[in-house]
A and B are shown apart, each in its own frame.
Chain A
Amino acid sequence: MKKILLLGFLFAASLVVAAPNCKSPIAQGSLAYREGNFEKAIELWQTCVEQGFQSADLYYNLGNAYFRDGRVGFAILYYESALRLNPANEDYLHNLKFAQGLTKDKVEENGLEENPILSAFFKAHHALSLETQLHIILAIVWIILLLSILRVLSANPRTKSILTGSVFPLALILGIIGFSAGYKIYVMETFHKGVVTVKSADVMSGPEDSYQTLNALSEGTIFEVMGVREGWVQIRLGEKVNGFVKTTEVGIVK
């Protein structure tokens, strides 16, 4: 029995040791950034991203390193990626806005006053990440199940009423969080952003170099991705710009 336990422990430990992590490159990248070696920081952090590691802060730091290195397009791309995971972070929003201010095709503020109700809804919508919302949804569903079973088993009418009364607010919260999570999933599944990462990207009328150049987008310009195929990204920017750009000249926010 002891041998089995020992073997089990060793197997679990080997799993933990073998589990991939990117702590070392992240720490080294931070050190390089502190020393002002932004290229090295980019290289180290980019390695983690390419290995499939995902973190809003990692994307944000990578955005900062690109920004310091003078590559505003990539900086905006990674700020947007960080915001996709954590849309309410003020630092992400600040740096994105700051980087956008340095692009040629600046997005001007329309100057309209922010609607406080809509603003509150937006904040509440982004207060929790989608992952957290899904966990809460599961927890509420199981709590409702438990309360419902207790209600069925309970013979005391007063207890039954209390349990019924507890289920309704939980169901309401479940509905609100479910709606918010559902909308996030809808946006995630249907709307993808892209960013121009080179100084100027030509927008072509078709997915080949032989097509006509319709427009040129400058570095850092954010557009809507309609689709990706064979080295070309079909994009849309407002009502006027609609065409294809090379995947090598843009980054898609993931």
Chain B
Amino acid sequence: MKRLIFVLLFFAIGANAEISLEFDKDRIEVGKPFEMRIVIPTRELAEPREIPKLTTANGFILNGIDSTDTQLRDFFGRGTNVRKYNFKLIAPRQTGRVQIGVITWKIRDTEYELSRPVVNLQKSYDDAAVAASLIPSKKIVYEGEQFSVNLALHTYEHFQGNLNAVSMDLGNDFIAHRSDLANLQFVRSEKAPAEMDANAKFAWLAPVKSGDLTIPAFKFKYLKRGAPKIVEENKSQGGFSMSFKSIRQEAEEAETSSAPVSIKVLPLPSTLRPADFSGMVGDYSFEGDFDRTTLKVGEALTLNLLIKGDGKPGTLTDPKLPDFADFRSVPPETEINKKVVGNKVITTKSIKVFLYPKKKGSFTIPKITYNWFNPTEKKYQSKTLGPWEITIEKGDDNVVAALPVSNGSPNVQKEDIESLGSDIRFVHEVKDATLTQKPMFRSFFFWFLFAFPVFVYFIFGTLVKRYRKNANNSALVRKAKARKNLKTSTTQAQEALKKNDGKAFYAALENGLIGYLSDLSNLEFRGMIKAQFNENLQDLGLTDMQITEVREWLETCSFARFAPSVQTENERKEALQKFEKLCETLEVLK
């Protein structure tokens, strides 16, 4: 072999020609035909020889071989006669770097191995760039038994990203717990570096019915590189137009889907099925106990139950609880959790039953049983808790009283009770139970009290305003003052009349009249001469008759003061009436 290669190499160098291997395409696609050529300078072909032989491997199919003689020219234009052997092949379906087979050549009865050609096989641009598949952990399960499904994704060389799930619906035949696919990691394929693989546990399922069930196909959308296209572009610049042709590959959206998966679901065996079967299928545990077995009336008793198993994810039926006839109970407090442990989803249900004893004594709480079907053992299993003996003692009066009724500052007691388990708070002492009344805002009295201050303020304001207005009117003030002084004088006159004091009587009337005139007119009439007196009264708007009347009256008074005994009592009374009448007529002064 070494000798043959050495000989061939020597001649090749001497002849300035080489034995070479070439393909008819740059990109060899899976499942597609292609040609592989061996080029050998003609003069180097030894005799006697046979046709080169290709023994294919890895699924390559050899469809035929032919040869052509031709001339190759080098850089300087020198020609070399060569023979080309064309192997017509069909590529297998697998991608990556794959060995085509072994090329041997029998020369002078000795068979030499020429080459073990390797080719990089790629998907066609028309093929999907992503392959998705669902792989169940079991294909035959019992109704309600949990199994997992792996999601496998493989991307090919022309995948360009933007992978999104369009449909990952599991249908209505399964209870499912899906895992978080955010952490799905793509790693490079060892066989084909341009390709990627991802594999993750997608969901844990439990069938809800028996029969042949199907997990529907999952659909994905993504971008892939499209097949090369010749694109012609016309450009014009500065009056010149040019035409270019180029090969382009553009990204295009594509969709792929996994194959639907068939699952055979067996019904649960009817033989030996417990009468109160819980419906759970898997490996379960059932634990529980009371927090105490001795307590007093008024205290709370808590039954804690815990069911744990790997059946239907997130679903757990309750055990059948006995009749707690000797206790009062509130609806049980339940909490359900699910968690992925190893390859399974473990569902846990915690049930707290709060019991309040009604009376003292010893009571038996019957046993509680929980059962399930174990698909591994293929049989029904069960676990029983109890029975329990509970002793109730007579309650401490203080404790009993403090338990349901708060006395205003029971913070410590509240927390004590609440620590027994979450519970409602105590009743309150009712102090203010009153007959239901019309709401205050609907009563007339409320709106009266609300609006009355406004009315009061308005009235008060009006009165004050009027008072101040009057206080500012000098004429009115004078009039009021005049009336007041006149009243004083009249009173003095009446007193003098009673005492039969004529002098004082007429003095009071005279002073009263002059004072009245002075107060009304704001002029001092006392000591005024007659002409001035008349003139002022004229100016004040009095008629001549009125002036005369005033003058006569004043003169009468002056005369009477100096001769009081002339007037009888009746005449004085009459004089007082005339005086009052005169004053009334004088009130019209400006």
**Cβ 8 A contact of B427, one of A33, A149, A181:** A33
A68-B328, A148-B457 known; A60+B433 contact, CB < 8 A: no
Q: Mark B326-360, 1 if CB is under 8 A from A, else 0.
A: 00111101000000000000000000000011100
Let me know if B325 is at the binding interface, CB within 8 A. Answer: no
**Cβ 8 A contact of B449, one of A65, A95, A138, A185:** A138
CB distance from A47 to the nearest CB of B (A): 12
On chain A, the residues within 8 Å of B440 by CB distance are: 130-131, 134-135
A34-B405, A138-B446, A145-B457 known; A91+B425 contact, CB < 8 A: yes
User: Which secondary structure dominates where chain A touches chain B?
Assistant: helix
Let me know if B232 is at the binding interface, CB within 8 A. Answer: no
> Is A91 within 8 A of B428, CB to CB?
yes
On chain B, the residues within 8 Å of A98 by CB distance are: 422-424
> Is B427 within 8 A of A144, CB to CB?
no
> Is A54 within 8 A of B434, CB to CB?
yes
Let me know if A137 is at the binding interface, CB within 8 A. Answer: yes
> Is A149 within 8 A of B328, CB to CB?
no
Residues of chain A in range 29-74 having any CB-CB distance to chain B below 8 Å: 30, 33-34, 36, 38, 48, 51-55, 57-58, 60-61, 64-65, 67-70, 72
Let me know if A22 is at the binding interface, CB within 8 A. Answer: yes
**Cβ 8 A contact of A54, one of B298, B358, B423, B435:** B435
Residues of chain B in range 395-442 having any CB-CB distance to chain A below 8 Å: 400-401, 403-406, 422-437, 439-441
Let me know if B562 is at the binding interface, CB within 8 A. Answer: no
Distance A91 CA – B449 CA, assembled complex (angstroms): 35
CB distance from A37 to the nearest CB of B (A): 9
> Is B331 within 8 A of A72, CB to CB?
yes
Nearest residue (CB) in B for A91 is: B425
> Is A30 within 8 A of B405, CB to CB?
yes
> Is B460 within 8 A of A149, CB to CB?
yes
On chain B, the residues within 8 Å of A153 by CB distance are: 464
Let me know if B386 is at the binding interface, CB within 8 A. Answer: no
> Is B453 within 8 A of A141, CB to CB?
yes
A52-B436, A98-B423, A149-B460 known; A36+B446 contact, CB < 8 A: no
Distance A68 CA – B328 CA, assembled complex (angstroms): 8
Distance A192 CA – B437 CA, assembled complex (angstroms): 18
Q: Mark B550-587, 1 if CB is under 8 A from A, else 0.
A: 00000000000000000000000000000000000000
**Cβ 8 A contact of A134, one of B425, B430, B446:** B446
**Cβ 8 A contact of B428, one of A61, A70, A102:** A61
Distance A235 CA – B232 CA, assembled complex (angstroms): 69
Let me know if A168 is at the binding interface, CB within 8 A. Answer: no
> Is B433 within 8 A of A48, CB to CB?
yes
Nearest residue (CB) in A for B406 is: A91
CB distance from B463 to the nearest CB of A (A): 10
A33-B427, A34-B400, A94-B424 known; A137+B460 contact, CB < 8 A: no
Nearest residue (CB) in B for A30 is: B405
> Is B433 within 8 A of A26, CB to CB?
yes
> Is A70 within 8 A of B436, CB to CB?
no
Let me know if B75 is at the binding interface, CB within 8 A. Answer: no
Let me know if B450 is at the binding interface, CB within 8 A. Answer: yes
CB distance from B548 to the nearest CB of A (A): 48
Q: How many residues of A contact B (CB 8 A)?
A: 50
> Is A152 within 8 A of B460, CB to CB?
yes
CB distance from B158 to the nearest CB of A (A): 44
Distance A169 CA – B48 CA, assembled complex (angstroms): 124
> Is B427 within 8 A of A55, CB to CB?
no
Let me know if A233 is at the binding interface, CB within 8 A. Answer: no
> Is B453 within 8 A of A144, CB to CB?
yes
> Is A95 within 8 A of B401, CB to CB?
no
**Cβ 8 A contact of B453, one of A34, A94, A134, A145:** A145
Let me know if B275 is at the binding interface, CB within 8 A. Answer: no
CB distance from B126 to the nearest CB of A (A): 48
> Is B464 within 8 A of A55, CB to CB?
no
CB distance from A143 to the nearest CB of B (A): 9
CB distance from A32 to the nearest CB of B (A): 10
CB distance from A214 to the nearest CB of B (A): 24
On chain A, the residues within 8 Å of B117 by CB distance are: none
On chain B, the residues within 8 Å of A148 by CB distance are: 457
Distance A135 CA – B330 CA, assembled complex (angstroms): 42
Let me know if B456 is at the binding interface, CB within 8 A. Answer: yes
A102-B331, A138-B449 known; A20+B435 contact, CB < 8 A: yes
**Cβ 8 A contact of B435, one of A36, A53, A72, A95:** A53
On chain A, the residues within 8 Å of B449 by CB distance are: 138, 141-142
Distance A61 CA – B406 CA, assembled complex (angstroms): 11
Distance A64 CA – B456 CA, assembled complex (angstroms): 50
CB distance from B43 to the nearest CB of A (A): 86
> Is B358 within 8 A of A36, CB to CB?
yes
On chain A, the residues within 8 Å of B436 by CB distance are: 52-54
**Cβ 8 A contact of B331, one of A64, A70, A95, A145:** A70
Nearest residue (CB) in B for A53 is: B433
Let me know if A204 is at the binding interface, CB within 8 A. Answer: no
On chain B, the residues within 8 Å of A58 by CB distance are: 430, 433
Distance A22 CA – B328 CA, assembled complex (angstroms): 28
Let me know if A99 is at the binding interface, CB within 8 A. Answer: yes
> Is B461 within 8 A of A152, CB to CB?
yes
> Is A142 within 8 A of B424, CB to CB?
no
Nearest residue (CB) in A for B460 is: A149
Q: Could you say which of A51, A70, A91 has the most chain B C-beta atoms within 10 Å of its C-beta?
A: A91
Distance A149 CA – B422 CA, assembled complex (angstroms): 59
Nearest residue (CB) in A for B356 is: A36
Nearest residue (CB) in A for B359 is: A36
Residues of chain A in range 89-137 having any CB-CB distance to chain B below 8 Å: 91, 94-95, 98-99, 102, 130-131, 134-135, 137
**Cβ 8 A contact of B328, one of A36, A141, A152:** A36
Q: Could you say which of B297, B331, B357, B406 has the most chain A C-beta atoms within 10 Å of its C-beta?
A: B331
On chain A, the residues within 8 Å of B432 by CB distance are: 55, 57
Nearest residue (CB) in B for A148 is: B457
Nearest residue (CB) in B for A69 is: B328
Known A-B contacts: A58-B433, A95-B424. Give 12 more (CB < 8 A): A22-B433, A53-B433, A54-B436, A55-B431, A68-B328, A68-B330, A98-B423, A99-B424, A141-B453, A145-B454, A145-B456, A149-B457
B interface, CB within 8 angstroms of A: 297-298, 328-331, 333, 356-358, 400-401, 403-406, 422-437, 439-441, 446, 449-450, 453-454, 456-457, 460-461, 464
Top 7 nearest A-B pairs (CB, nearest first) are A145-B453, A55-B433, A57-B428, A61-B427, A54-B436, A52-B436, A95-B424
25 contacts between A and B (CB under 8 A): A21-B433, A23-B433, A33-B404, A33-B405, A33-B427, A51-B435, A52-B436, A53-B435, A54-B435, A57-B430, A58-B433, A61-B428, A64-B404, A70-B331, A91-B425, A91-B428, A98-B422, A98-B424, A138-B449, A141-B453, A145-B454, A145-B456, A148-B457, A153-B464, A185-B439
